[in-house]
Structure 1
Amino acid sequence: MAAPVGYEKVDLTGKSLIVTGGGSGMGLEASLLLASRGAKVTVVDLAEENGRKTVARITEAGGTAQFVKADITNEDDAAAMVEAAVTAYGGLDGAFNNAGIIGAGGKISDYSLADWNKTLTINLTGAFVSLRAELRYMEKQGYGSIVNTASTAGLIAYPNLPAYVASKHGVVGLTKQVAVDYAPLGIRVNAILPGSTMTPLAEESFADPELKAKAESAQPIGRLGQPEEIAEMAAWLLSDASSFVVGGIFTVDGGVTAA
């Protein structure tokens, strides 16, 4: 039986795509998946060793990728990552703005301004700076798809994570605003909101088996997510299969926000 048309469109052959935070976790898995579907991937990360390892895994598997070291909060670096993708692969069809941090924990009364600024700068300003660089190119060509990584913390509160929750609510709002502004220009912008996912950072947090078991039991699905499950949503949103999807806020969270 032939595959439904939508599934055929998830083929990303020939698309030039940027993945920020591509050196580990969800960014790593997204980079590998997008390349396996035929995309030419520009892997962006501040951690050069990790980013180059991602590229090596892609090329060893027969895919196409390059590494760009960049600080997503730096305007020149963001412009350079777009230029690198365009120069190497002839354009920029899409981007997965995935880089971010959880940041420090604590209640507002004890929270330092330095910790607040760091988390907001990386998560929210970083998304803004990346989006602006990508959109400046895409608006000239008249098409493109951008996916931002927010979090279920963009919809609900998490104890003692004021900066993270505020920053991810900001990413959700920014995604909606940019989606409305740029849809008439043929550019689609959407966001993925992962729940608790077993990235390397999460593995450190859940090193205590009791804590991990508690986190798993809090998920209606009964387990934590895997980075490749987030990557699949990114692949769909970056593909032509999601051509009517604009300003979408997609929870991939095992049912946490539905409970």
Structure 2
Amino acid sequence: MSKQVILVTGALTGIGRAAALGFAKAGSTVVISGRHEEAGHALVAELRETGADAAFIHADVRREEEIANLVDRVVERFGRLDAAVNNAGTAGRPGPVTEQSAESYAATFDTNVLGTLLSMKHELRVMQAQRAGSIVNISSTYGHGGAAGASVYAASKHAVEGLTKSAALEAAASGVRVNAVAPGPTDTGMLDRFTGNPERRAGLVWGLPLRRVGNPDEVANAIVFLASDRSSFTTGQILSVDGGKSAA
């Protein structure tokens, strides 16, 4: 994987940050994007400490012009785009279906679904012309099961998985692979916001066969694998990294 050019959206915290560091340690050139300049430049400095070439480009995945510009700038600076991780996402507003609104639906789907669609659109524009590349979308175990109290989030991740499989079929003839990683409960700020209190967090842990939440680095390892040539015969797949949750 040495010297691959990797783009990670939503890279400033949690799983995205862990993935960016994982790629950097593997010797790749890493371009990170997000909406917060100060945090972005701080992470670039950390990535460069590993010896990797790294850059930050501001982008909001909900805005197509910003995503198109992001991908164009990666290619302009580094000459190609070998892999992309579409991690930008939001938990939305937790609560039952009866408490959701058009606004809460749109806020979640605009980031999780539209953002993934627009990112893939412009990543594939480059990768299909190269006739090579790998895209890894970030789903959730809620993407292939229901979730009481997280209905809109679960629906958005169902959509991400459908987009992943459809894009994989469309891109395969060009030599481009598209997969997704579906994390279970992982020790991130999003999990803290979703659970809201230690009791709900403990309940999630109790339901996992491994009896613990995941570490972002454990999810990042799966992402780095799917982006690499070591998974060259894998496309259209959803890889669960969930402590056994989906097997129970």
TM-score relative to the length of structure 2: 0.96
Greater shift in the superposed pair: 243-252 or 105-114: 105-114
Change (3 A) 1:56 1:94: same
Q: Which amino acid in structure 2 is aligned with residue 107 of structure 1?
A: P
Match of 1:232 among 200, 221, 228: 221
Q: Which amino acid in structure 2 is aligned with residue 48 of structure 1?
A: E
CA offset at residue 89 of structure 1?
1.5
Residue 91 of structure 1 corresponds to 80
CA offset at residue 205 of structure 1?
4.7
Aligned pair 1:14/2:10, yes or no?
no
Q: Which amino acid in structure 2 is aligned with residue 36 of structure 1?
A: K
Residue 171 of structure 1 corresponds to 160
Aligned pair 1:118/2:104, yes or no?
no
Residue 48 of structure 1 corresponds to 37
Q: Which amino acid in structure 2 is aligned with residue 209 of structure 1?
A: P
SS in 2 for 1:136: helix
Aligned length: 248
Change (3 A) 1:212 1:21: same
Aligned CA-pair RMSD: 1.2
Deviations 1:141-170 (A, max 9, x none): 111000000110110111121211111000
Q: Which amino acid in structure 2 is aligned with residue 43 of structure 1?
A: I
Deviations 1:173-212 (A, max 9, x none): 0100000111011000000000000012223455743333
Structure 1 CA distance for aligned equivalents of residues 196 and 149 of structure 2: 19
8 Å contact kept, 2:24–2:50:
no
Identical amino acids, percent of aligned pairs: 39
SS in 2 for 1:54: helix
Q: Which amino acid in structure 1 is aligned with residue 183 of structure 2?
A: P
Match of 1:221 among 210, 232, 244: 210
SS in 1 for 2:57: strand
Residue 20 of structure 2 corresponds to 31
1:48-87 superposed matches below 5 A: 48-87=37-76
8 Å contact kept, 1:219–1:255:
yes
Residue 4 of structure 1 corresponds to none
Residue 184 of structure 1 corresponds to 173
Residue 244 of structure 2 corresponds to 255
SS in 1 for 2:112: helix
CA offset at residue 256 of structure 1?
0.7
Q: Which amino acid in structure 2 is aligned with residue 191 of structure 1?
A: A
Residue 148 of structure 1 corresponds to 137
Q: Which runs of 5+ in 2 are unaligned?
A: none
8 Å contact kept, 2:94–2:194:
no
Change (3 A) 1:205 1:105: closer
TM-score relative to the length of structure 1: 0.92
Deviations 1:76-131 (A, max 9, x none): 11111111211222210010001100000222222111000110111000000000
